[in-house]
Amino acid sequence: MGSPFLLQPSRSLTEEAMAAAGQSQDDLKRIAALCAVELVRSGMVLGLGTGSTAAHALDRIGDLLRGGDLRDIVGIPTSEWAAGIPLTDLAAHPVVALSIDGADEVDPALNLVKGRGGSLLREKMVEGASRRFVVIVDDSKLVPRL
């Protein structure tokens, strides 16, 4: 697996500026998640991350599958939320094309803190099997130091 890279909304907004622009923190999570979904192609085996930001990505992938814009996608879940994406496991698909997940904190060097919950082991296993690992965060997750 290559180094993780960070997808986030293209502009940095303070909470006050977000409110003035009419964008909530959840809106920014959704925007970041949609950027990650643009990397998904038909026929992929996906690692399906956990958390509120990853849920936005899974919802969109599920919508694209139901609409016929994506086909032959299977996902390896790291939680119980799968948004209607057909599921598989690492035994059946030991190589994952793309994993999409969020993070609890990200520093300027893209070091991550993630998986503080019960999904930590499963997340590590799925991400370790991934050719590409995409971390999606909003500005609230960016910190100067872990």
Q: Which of 15, 80, 105, 123 is catalytic?
A: 123
Q: Where are the alpha helices (DSSP H) in the chain?
A: 15-21, 25-37, 52-66, 120-128
Cα separation, 55 vs 60, in Å, equals: 9
Q: Are strands 45-48 and 96-101 parallel, antiparallel or unpaired?
A: parallel
Query: Is 38 designated active site?
Result: no
Residues tagged active-site: 123
